[in-house]
Amino acid sequence: MALSKKPVTGMKDILPEEMQIRDYVISVIKETYGAFGFTSIETPCVENIENLSNKQGGENEKLIFKILKRGEKLNLETAESEKDLVDGGLRYDLTVPLVRFYSNHANELPTPFKALQMGNVWRADRPQRGRYRQFMQCDIDILGEPSNLAEIELILATTTTLGRLGFKNFQIRINERRILKAMAAYSGFAEESYDSVFITLDKMDKIGLTGVEEELLKNGFAKESVDKYLALFKGMKNAGDGLSFLAEELGDYLEEEVRISLQEIMESVRATQCSDFELVFDPTLVRGMSYYTGTIFEIAMPEFGGSCGGGGRYDKMVGKFTGNDVPACGFSIGFERIILLLTESGFKVPSQPVKAAYLLEKGLPGEELCKVIAKAQKERGEGKQVLVVRMNKNKKFQKEQLMKEGYTDFQEFYKNPLR
């Protein structure tokens, strides 16, 4: 039986044309984030299964690619539970590995520590447009900074990067987990029901206010609480400043410093932004990860029709490893979705070096071959990209394929120079 030539479902091969765009985007990301003081790190793709399944990763913990124990540690005959079979898994995001990394190396790192991490992650998810089972993530995180300077820097660095990649008119939606909890408490929902309420609220953009109301009532919540909850969202529609309206309505349910901090973030970003985007307060923004403790944000792009990245503050996560909490905040760009949008728009990498192809006829004498290679080496030293290849029988098709890869300068070398 012939081997399968197709990649595993949910994973894809990357052709040279797309790879060129990916390399360019990576270079822009690293250069821009570097200018903001972020330092590149790398962590293994495999993490201890206990770290990945610590009830911090929300729905992603159901999507882990788990790894069986190896050698003598794996005994299928005596295994009584999954713990006897599995000890590792492929990372489903870069935050858990980063926190483990920081917990292990904190004494060797500056405070605050500004980390840039790019790498593949894996989720056993249902593949769809812009969503794969193996995909690149691009995260920046600031650990050890308790003030909202972290949020301001993360938003500015991310939006500056998107602006340099040519994106305009996108939105950064921002909210606060403590606002979400205050709204639920004010409405009379029991604390143990908050997650259920938030799961329904997160569907607001798809099912609308009426749909949220119907689902909350269907889930058994009291009509009085549901009406009081939805009245907050209806009131904000008529208010000029949604955040101030909420703060006034919630009263003692919301700490004043939460409003002040969020307002300061928004005002600071708007006053200093250098990219064309809109920063909006969105009280329906939830974010799925249960490790978020404060500010949360998300990138919304009209071209994609959904989220193209997000993040937030997770001040309690380091403490899971060390016993001592460390303030932490991060922002992730939806790298694969960015690449998809650029590819579909016909994006071409700017300022590419001239790409020349030297086509050599089969049987070119050794002395002539050396001359061609020496010429190629000279031009490479001058910054030109030179491909030296044997000439195919169908030279026309060969050139057409090379032109798709950006080659514009073709030179042909024959064993008979007079040809």
What's the pLDDT at 240?
A: 78
User: Bridge-partner residues for 142, per DSSP?
Assistant: 114, 329
Mean pLDDT of 149-158: 96
CA distance 99 to 103: 6
Q: What is the pLDDT of residues 293-316, one digit of tens each?
A: 999 999 998 777 778 899 999 999
Q: Look up tokens 């995180």; give the residue.
A: 141
What's the pLDDT at 414?
A: 87
Cα-flanking dihedrals φ and ψ of residue 409, to 5°? -110, 115
Of residues 54 and 364, the one with the higher pLDDT is 364
Q: In this structure, are residues 331 and 158 in contact, taking their beta carbons and an 8 Å threshold? A: yes
8 DSSP assignment: P
CA distance 268 to 270: 6
What's the pLDDT at 262?
A: 96
Q: Look up tokens 């024959």; give the residue.
A: 414
What's the pLDDT at 382?
A: 85
Whole-model pTM?
Answer: 0.87
Q: What is the pLDDT of residues 170-193, one digit of tens each?
A: 999 999 999 999 999 999 999 999
What's the pLDDT at 291?
A: 83
Sign of CA pseudo-dihedral 229, 233, 238, 239: positive
CA dist 19 → 30, 210, 351 (Å): 16, 44, 16
Q: What is the pLDDT of residues 373-404, one digit of tens each?
A: 999 999 888 888 999 999 998 999 999 989 88
With cut-offs at 50, 70 and 90, classify the pLDDT of residue 252.
very high
Please report, rounded to a whole number, the percentage of residues in the chain having pLDDT higher than 90: 65
What's the pLDDT at 351?
A: 74
What's the pLDDT at 367?
A: 86
What's the pLDDT at 60?
A: 76
Q: What is the pLDDT of residues 12-43, one digit of tens each?
A: 999 988 999 999 999 999 999 999 999 999 99
Cα-flanking dihedrals φ and ψ of residue 150, to 5°? -60, -50
Q: What is the CATH number that goes with domain 16-344?
A: 3.30.930.10
Q: What are the domain boundaries of the chain?
A: 16-344, 355-413
Which tokens in the block code for residue 267? 């005002």
What's the pLDDT at 265?
A: 96
Q: Whose CA is closest to 369, among 414, 313, 321?
A: 414
What's the pLDDT at 381?
A: 86
CA dihedral 358, 360, 366, 371 (to 10 degrees): -20
Q: What is the pLDDT of residues 62-82, one digit of tens each?
A: 889 999 887 667 666 666 667
